[in-house]
Structure 1
Amino acid sequence: MRRRDLLAGLLATTTASALRAAESNKVYRLAIVSTVADLSESGLYKPLFVELRRLGYVEGENLVVLRFSAREDTSRYDTTVRDAVSSSPDLIFVTGTSHLLLRVKALVRSIPVVGGMNDPVALGIVSNLARPEGNITGISVDAGIEILGKRLGILLEAVPTASRVGFLCTEAFWNSAGGDAMRAAARNFSVKIVGSPLQGAAQEAEYLRVLDDLLQREHADGMLVTDGPQHLAHRDVIVDFAERGRLPAIYPYREYVEIGGLMAYAIDRQKLYRQHAHYVDMIFKGAKPSELPIYQVDKYTAIINLKAARTQGITIPASLVLRADEVIE
């Protein structure tokens, strides 16, 4: 049986007798550890809270949510994780970056952990996707160099004259295996990477500095925005700049396109966080992380915003429009 089929079966039977029912009088303690600042129910993780509520977990009633943010500062990772452990949670949910999850792995031994991650085997988070064997499970959203190459290929098909492409990424990503994959993708397409990574705990001013540098000094004629919740939290700034600067860009999530971004080749974040909520539910009901296979996301959707294309003066080839999974008119 494939891991995806096995997990689908587990998700479909969360209320089955194999998992004991949640205790009606128990209050569950969920610690959320993230790199982003906004961990509210109305923020980036809204789909998680909505699904938890649907599953019967209501903050303030039978659920206590403990929020811990490193605020995009890598020097705060260990302190943030230790603060979460000290809060005595029943489960820790980690999101934001695999580097943060690696610190959780190093510092947390007995508390169940659910996390979003890149390639967990390559990173050393787990040794086996089907049976994680430790206290960590979750969802892998990594497609390696293929996803960066795919996004870059779509961008260059939309703007075939582009030769200087800016990759909007953090310094940590730039210096990681992801950065190596990014540079390899650029070489494969014979384009030049221009610009520099975001420095430190990037806020709006840092995003504007890097974006302005791409246009004014580096004369970028295209931009690829890498995955990362910190970028998503600043999507208004990024999309608005790209529109005003007529900088064709491809994004990692549909949320960018919904507010005027040009294109995305994206996973379904809504579904992703709903699945995370089911992991939380199963563990609250007695399942062990070692029994829950790590789910691998492998479905990506191509979305094109033709209204944004017209605004930026870009003519998207008909062949690309026809192949898109979704077109916003």
Structure 2
Amino acid sequence: MKRRDFIAAIGGAAALPLAARAQQPAMPVIGYLGMGSSDTEVFLAAFRQGLSEAGYAEGQNVTIDYRWAEGNPERFPALAAELVMLKVHVILTTGGTLAAIAAKRATATIPIVFAAVGDPVAEGLVVSLARPGGNVTGFSITLPDLIGKLLELVKEAVPGASRVALLFKPDTMPDRVREARLKEADASARALGMELQVFEARERGDFDGVFSDMSSARAGALVVWPTPVFQLERRRLADLAAEHRLPAVFQSRNYVEAGGLMSYGPNLPDLSRRAAIYVGKILQGTKPSDLPVEQPTKFELVINLKTARALGVVVPASLLARADEVIE
């Protein structure tokens, strides 16, 4: 073999691995659209656990592109548009209904999985729970009787509270959905012999005034309607409830860990885990329309006895016995 032929042969052999690598398909990319909060790692850990159960590991056989609204839901449309421009393979939203709606409006083709929204049918995200249709599916955290359950807990823990304040963020849901939910909440309160007083907070700056209004209205307890923005401000909400001596009931445990009195609702990290399993199925070829919207399977009651003592609330032994966790 001539010298130049030998060198050409060696060079061609060395180039083979590079060519082979170049022909390998790129890893699929997940677009992660979230609100952003101090406990993000808890939800990310649950999400990565779900990916692992589905056969995926970040950086090994899947890439995740994160976009955070940093507590400002008005940023969701622009962030969702960025993920669409990146041509991610699937979008996972963890910023509640507003994040899911922003993603849906940004694309009709890229699959979308929402980790936790209110009523996805009433809010226009899917056609039905069993057959979502289109490119969107995921998990709903709102059950028809959940607000009634929270009011029952108020009645049991604070039987003398005849007036109960309901705090919610009105722009997190369509008008017709908001009105329907408020009617359901009012009916539940009346059935328990309580008067429901509704208070709105659209942003952080509203909190001080709203809590002063609750005190002026002589509310005896508080129920907080869940929303990602309130999640970011849960310690502030818990502190204000304590300052105004309002026993407060929430839907997720991290409010109680921040100083709230009680919580009852779905295990939110578990929903992130299950959403990741859905993402894995979609990456493996399942259509979102073939994955029914699921509702929570794990509910937990958490009580903060330290807060109860500070408020002068004597939690009944029967309620403590039912608690999944009691914080001393």
Report the count of equivalent residues. Answer: 300
Aligned partners of 1:40 and 1:46 also within 8 Å: no
SS at match of 1:286: coil
More helix by share: 2
Q: Is the 8 A contact 1:48 1:274 kept in 2?
A: yes
Q: CA RMSD in A?
A: 2.9
Deviations along 1:3-53, one digit per CA (max 9) or x if unpaired, are xxxxxxxxxxxxxxxxxxxxx97423111223x244996265442234435
Q: CA deviation at 1:58?
A: 4.6
SS for the counterpart of 2:231 is helix
Q: Distance in 2 between matches of 1:33 and 1:39?
A: 16
Residue matched to 1:211: 211
* SS, match of residue 32 in structure 1: strand
TM-score normalised to structure 1 length: 0.79
**2:121·2:128 contact (CA, 8 Å) conserved in 1?**
yes
1:234 aligns with 2:237: no
How big is each residue's C-alpha offset from its partner over 1:217-264, in whole Å with a ceiling of 9 and x where there is no partner? Answer: 333221111112221221111222223332101110111223332111
Deviation per residue, 1:44-89 (Å, 9 max, x gap)? 5442234435656454554433233445556544333222211211
The AA in structure 2 aligned to 1:288 is K
Equivalence for 1:297: 296
1:113, distance to aligned residue in structure 2 (A): 0.8
Q: Which letter does structure 1 place at the counterpart of 2:213?
A: D
SS at match of 2:226: coil
**Letter paired with 2:119:** D
* Structure index of larger Rg: 2
Aligned pairs for 1:51-200 (under 5 A) are 51-52=50-51, 57-71=56-70, 73=72, 75-115=74-114, 116-144=116-144, 146-173=145-172, 175=175, 177-190=177-190, 191-194=194-197, 196-199=199-202
**Change beyond 3 A, Cα 1:57–1:273:** same
Q: Which runs of 5+ in 1 are unaligned?
A: 1-23
Give the Å deviation of 1:161: 1.6
Structure 2 portions without partners, runs of 5+: 1-23
Deviation readout 1:179-228 (Å, 9 max, x if unpaired): 532343234423334463112xx23x44344334323x333221111112
In percent, how many aligned pairs have the same letter? 32
Contact 1:32 1:66 in 2 (8 A): yes
Asked if 1 retains the 8 angstrom alpha-carbon contact of 2:189 and 2:196, the reply is no
Q: Deviations over 1:131-166 (max 9, x none)?
A: 33321121122202x111110111122111213322
C-alpha distance 209-87 of structure 1, shift in aligned 2 (>3 A):
farther
Q: Distance in 2 between matches of 1:109 and 1:260?
A: 42
Cα distance in structure 1, aligned partners of 2:176 and 2:224: 16
Q: Do the aligned partners of residues 178 and 47 (structure 1) sit closer, same or farther apart at CA in structure 2, a change above 3 Å counting? A: farther
Distance 1:106 1:167 in 2: 31
CA–CA distance in structure 2, aligned partners of residues 71 and 179 of structure 1: 28
Q: Give distance in 1, aligned partners of 2:120 and 2:167.
A: 24
Alpha-carbon separation, structure 2, partners of 1:110 and 1:97: 21
- Which secondary structure does the structure 2 equivalent of 1:157 belong to? helix
SS class of match (2:121): helix
